[in-house]
Structure 1
Amino acid sequence: MTLTTSTTTPESAPHLDWTALENRVPSVGHLFRDRVKDSPQREAYRYERDGEWKSLTWSETKDLAYSWAAGLIALGVGPQDRVAIASSTRFEWAIADLAVMCAGGATTTVYPTTIAGDVAYILGDSESKVVIAEDDEQIAKLREKRDELAGVVKVVTFDGTADGDWVITIEDLAALGRQQLEKDAGVVDSRIDALRPEDLATIIYTSGTTGRPKGVRLPHSAWTYAGSVTLASGLVNEDDLQYLWLPLAHVFGKVLLTLPLASGTPTAIDGRIDKIIDNLAVVKPTFMGAAPRIFEKAYARINQVFEAESGLKRKIIDWGTQVAHEADAQRQAGKQPGGLKYSLADKLVLSKVRERFGGRLRFMISGSAPLNVEINKWFGAMGLQILEGYGLTETSAIATLNLPGELVYGSVGKPTAGTAIKIAEDGEILIKGDQVMMGYHNKPDATSDALADDGWFHTGDIGHLSSTGHLFITDRKKELFKTSGGKFIAPAQIESRFKGICPLVSQFMVAGDAKNFATALVTLDPDAIAEWAKRNDMEGKSYAEIATSEKMRETIQKYVDELNSGLNRWETIKKFVILDRDLTVEDGDLTPSLKLKRRVVAKKYQAEIDALYKD
């Protein structure tokens, strides 16, 4: 039996703390101020400087955020005026966002990888008054397009060079703020007091795959909803520790910044992707969020290490992994695994895997793209539970989530508290709830297309609901394609499955719209193929040499054959090409959340795709 609607209500989920939603505060500013009042001396943030991790209490955070907020007010930022943040993920990003909220303004998020032309468009479209720019690289983009930025009255920089006029340092902003607070000690609190749930809090521009990005308008009520859902579920508390590396310009990162304001959970922030594994060993968090690509890379790397072992050690690893999967099946059936066999497997194998992630992780949250179900099961078996969820920028990143005790592999969970999910006749997923956007900035037609008069947001995703109310995603509505034989193919499902099979793959893009068979573009993970090269007499060779070698092609062909054995005949990959370079954010192939820009990549490599269909 399948459902067409699923709603989480007090009647359907009496175990949730519904008072958390009923007693929501009006704004993010109120949420922050209440957190400081409740936990003044508890740790709020942790950040790395010169190889050493430093810490800030909630009270210290307030002092800093209030001085920056007062500085913004001194610069002329009024209620709901936009302040843009163009920076990588770092502790100061979080403080800057809090400052904007406390000043009564609204944050415009800008990815640090955004090109100058798009930065100018975003700042102009959002009517941003002040820009907080990370460094000289970001400032250079603003100077290049300054003639188009008449509305930007001031640029504030964390690490860049000030000019004493248009560009000032963050220290200058704080000094302005302290002067403002000396004149009016209650100026920031007055701004917070005036905030209402419906006031604009954030404009996040969708990274998009074609055309200009759309600015998603999110009110304070969307973020306070996210915080209250965290409290209602009891997922985290003050004794947890979050590790946050995701881009804060992305809605997934932004929502993970909001949750601790409600729960009091301290957050360690470092946006350097290459430092994740090193930092996990030092920080030892209890939870973190990540895009599926991070889990795919970790899974591939650990299994490469396993496969390189031989003899008794390899037998112990294989045995321990089998025991782990049996134990996880027991957990999914509501039983707690135990006994000598499991304890021994945990000691010899599973605990070693968990130590790579710091040894204290209770769970991880996956979002922004599909996670391969076999990879998810493997992590679950190792005692590293991944809670896959679903949401879009337009729903503040939150719509469904697999909660502990309710997890169903392959699904993205049940609707979060107070959220309704409906499946339209054509299979499109519709969402209604307090987390849904106000609309697209300056785009009434796009807003009316996506947001119905009755409040249902049309996601553009295809899926179905199980009898238990769990949501399963099939693909993006616009990414489904039909072969010349009339058969529909959902590329994302096939791509995700291949990533669970092949430890060498970085990206796998299925093509075949209006063609008589499906093909694929393949790129390889640089770290993974370096290990492969050592074992195949190619150590020291370049990426291109390894990727285009006949031996690598034979290796990938075996994995494609394995993939095809589990697909319908019309879905099978008949031909593929291995590209001589990986796809990257920097080259515009991936979004900052590491999601494939399908149309961009298809256009860039059209010649390679066309060649696959020549006799």
Structure 2
Amino acid sequence: MREYSVPVLVDVPASANLTDTVFRRAEEEPNVVALRRKVGDDWTAVTAGEFRDQVAGVAKGLIAAGVEPGDRVALMSRTRYEWTVIDYAIWTAGAVGVPIYESSSADQAAWIISDSGAKAVFAELESHEATIREDASGLPGLKNVWRIENGALDELTALGTEVSDDTLAERRTGRGIADLATIVYTSGTTGRPKGCSLTHDNLLFTARNVANGPLERLFTVDERAALLFLPLAHVFARIIEIVLIETGTILAHTPNMKNVAPDLQAFKPTFLLGVPRVFEKVYNGAEQKATAEGKGRIFHAAADTAVAWSRAETAGGAGLGLRLKHTLFDKLVYGKIRAATGGRLTTAVSGGSALGERLGHFFRGVGIETLEGWGLTETSAPSSVNMPGANKVGTVGKPFPGVTIGIAEDGEVLVKGRHVFQGYWNNPEATAEAIDADGWFHTGDIGELDNDGYLRITGRKKEIIVTAAGKNVAPAPMEDHIRAHPLISQAMVVGDDRPFVAALITLDVEALEQWKAANGKAGADLTELSSDPAIVAEVQKAVDGANRFVSKAEQIKKFAILDIDISEESGHLTPTLKIKRNIVMRDFTKQIESLYG
């Protein structure tokens, strides 16, 4: 078996826990700005001392409300300042946090609360509380539901006024690295979500080794700041939250994805975390804006130059002609893209799924180096990540310190390290299937390691399509390439036990508005557009582009453009925008059959 290890960089003592930095920093630097909270249109500073006091107040309230060490407390909310306060308050009270996606259904929320045995729940909005209470009769262990928008934090702080500082300190320091910190439920592309048990060690070891290792440069710039907008119910955003607290990077939140663009310009982050769809939207938005202004040819030339410049830098440096073109387009195009992110952003991290080489090179060429990383909920988010100055675009980087990555005989990626979870909550059978007798966690991803230790993910073991002719096809790379087209929202490759490979395509509703205006079809609806010859031709271009990278047996021979978009709201995507293949296959059986009729 081929494997690659990176030595541990930062050890974590047995007595440590996730709250230590919050309380230590408040003692050492009480007046330093730790977070910024959006109030109206202003970003209000929250000092380290103020943050510690709010965390302590809510933690005392939890203790007064009867939350005991090890009890599970759930949290259903959008990404916002209060989430981080509650997260650390739960840990300070010695309890275990259980995040719930704010988009979850009543059945999903009830399952997580019931399976985890949560004693209490924080709900952000009235609608979230209604979702939780819809199936509350089947949750006899649930004692409290606190609504954030209804003054829950103030209520708990008032409730805990009789709890002494000594009692709080005893609770807080009574938890060590071996203790459970959170149960994070996988978003579930198939079946019931499984709860991943992550300890203080899993999260703290990961955060400190990532922050002091491959990503150290991101957290040493002056006035470093980061804006979180991905759901904190997902372990990817959660580990970044912890990294930002550990490194003293100013943390801010935005709960509404529609506000990301203006919030980026107002907050001016130095560091950004996103999933590939976010970066695709940035690229597509810039392209559409340029086209609408009659500058489409300039933008495409600038994009090609950015990609070429980045590839040349990887190969040893751009020549004079390419450097001159790059300098020209920096003034005409790239500077405007950087300005749209606030003007201070030079680096971003992408995870969750494959970014694609073209986008990686494009953003690097623009001056926003996008570092791709890889991991799963079971590995506390990251297992590998690219590094500033050593970014091999198209890979997901090297293992971070303390991690070993191996490639099994069948190509499956295996992982070892202190970041690997303790097992699935209440599910020893699934745990035994995931972690073998030698301690390797079987990720289910297919990949390869190069001679320098960089990992490339080539597919998902359970998603490999086997055609009727016996050809193995990895759908993800083709889907990523097709989805990069500005008019396409999602793509799903099909062909299991079929004579050839085909695809279902959905159109991007937002991008279509500009296309309709530019093509004199303002009144056309999605049904009409899905069969419009011009749209079909655009989709064919995207499919042809994807087909160039695979063998003839793997190429997409036919596609169907659906007359609806698939989304998280429609039940076809997870909260991290992964396709629920079994649900799509079930709901669009007729369209799939028509491809093979």
Shorter-chain TM range is over 0.9
The one-character-per-residue Cα deviations of 1:316-361 (angstroms, maximum 9, x if unpaired) are 5455445434432343246599976544332222211211111111
Does 2:516 match 1:512?
no
- Cα distance in 1, alignment partners of residues 479 and 256 from structure 2: 26
Q: Percent identity?
A: 38
* The one of 56, 66, 70 aligned to 1:76: 66
2:232 partner SS = coil
Gaps of 5+ in 2: none
- 1:304-383 matched pairs, under 5 angstroms: 304-308=288-292, 310=294, 317=299, 320-333=302-315, 342-383=326-367
What does residue 217 of structure 2 align with?
235
2:282 partner SS = helix
- 1:218-297 matched pairs, under 5 angstroms: 218-229=198-209, 230-233=211-214, 234-237=216-219, 239-297=223-281
* The one of 529, 532, 556 aligned to 1:549: 532
2:493 partner SS = strand
- Cα distance in 2, alignment partners of residues 172 and 465 from structure 1: 53
Preserved contact between residue 89 and residue 248 of structure 1 (Cα < 8 Å): yes
2:213 partner SS = helix
What does residue 95 of structure 2 align with?
105
1:72 partner SS = helix
Does 2:444 match 1:460?
yes
Residues 602 and 302 of structure 1: is their aligned pair in 2 closer, same or farther, counting only changes over 3 Å?
same
The one-character-per-residue Cα deviations of 1:163-195 (angstroms, maximum 9, x if unpaired) are xxxxx8332111012232xxx122222112111
C-alpha deviation, 1:554, in angstroms: 2.8
Preserved contact between residue 123 and residue 129 of structure 2 (Cα < 8 Å): yes
Preserved contact between residue 90 and residue 270 of structure 1 (Cα < 8 Å): yes
* The one of 577, 592, 598 aligned to 2:560: 577
- Cα distance in 2, alignment partners of residues 225 and 417 from structure 1: 10
* The one of 84, 109, 116 aligned to 1:126: 116
- Cα distance in 2, alignment partners of residues 67 and 403 from structure 1: 39
Does 2:104 match 1:114?
yes
**TM-score under structure 2 normalisation?**
0.95
- Cα distance in 1, alignment partners of residues 299 and 576 from structure 2: 33
Residues 340 and 486 of structure 1: is their aligned pair in 2 closer, same or farther, counting only changes over 3 Å?
closer
* The one of 565, 585, 589 aligned to 1:602: 585
* Paired AA for residue 8 in structure 1: V
Does 2:33 match 1:43?
yes
* Paired AA for residue 459 in structure 1: T
- Cα distance in 2, alignment partners of residues 532 and 319 from structure 1: 20
Preserved contact between residue 245 and residue 270 of structure 1 (Cα < 8 Å): yes
Does 2:415 match 1:434?
no
- Cα distance in 2, alignment partners of residues 39 and 116 from structure 1: 43
Residues 315 and 546 of structure 1: is their aligned pair in 2 closer, same or farther, counting only changes over 3 Å?
closer
What does residue 164 of structure 1 align with?
none
Gaps of 5+ in 1: 11-17, 161-167
- Cα distance in 1, alignment partners of residues 526 and 85 from structure 2: 40
- Cα distance in 1, alignment partners of residues 502 and 74 from structure 2: 42
Residues 40 and 25 of structure 1: is their aligned pair in 2 closer, same or farther, counting only changes over 3 Å?
farther
Residues 587 and 448 of structure 1: is their aligned pair in 2 closer, same or farther, counting only changes over 3 Å?
same
C-alpha deviation, 1:372, in angstroms: 1.6
C-alpha deviation, 1:602, in angstroms: 1.3
The one-character-per-residue Cα deviations of 1:411-466 (angstroms, maximum 9, x if unpaired) are 00000001000011111111011111010000000001001233211101110100
The one-character-per-residue Cα deviations of 1:104-144 (angstroms, maximum 9, x if unpaired) are 11001111111112211111110111111112112112322
What does residue 11 of structure 2 align with?
21
Preserved contact between residue 231 and residue 262 of structure 1 (Cα < 8 Å): no
1:172 partner SS = helix
Larger displacement relative to structure 2 (297-306 or 463-472)? 297-306
Residues 529 and 341 of structure 1: is their aligned pair in 2 closer, same or farther, counting only changes over 3 Å?
closer
What does residue 163 of structure 1 align with?
none
The RMSD of aligned alpha carbons is 2.0
Does 2:139 match 1:149?
yes
1:235 partner SS = helix
- Cα distance in 2, alignment partners of residues 144 and 315 from structure 1: 54
C-alpha deviation, 1:600, in angstroms: 1.3
What is the count of residue pairs matched by the alignment?
A: 591
What does residue 5 of structure 2 align with?
7
1:460 partner SS = strand
1:576 partner SS = strand
C-alpha deviation, 1:257, in angstroms: 0.8
Residues 73 and 368 of structure 1: is their aligned pair in 2 closer, same or farther, counting only changes over 3 Å?
same
Does 2:394 match 1:410?
yes
What does residue 207 of structure 1 align with?
187
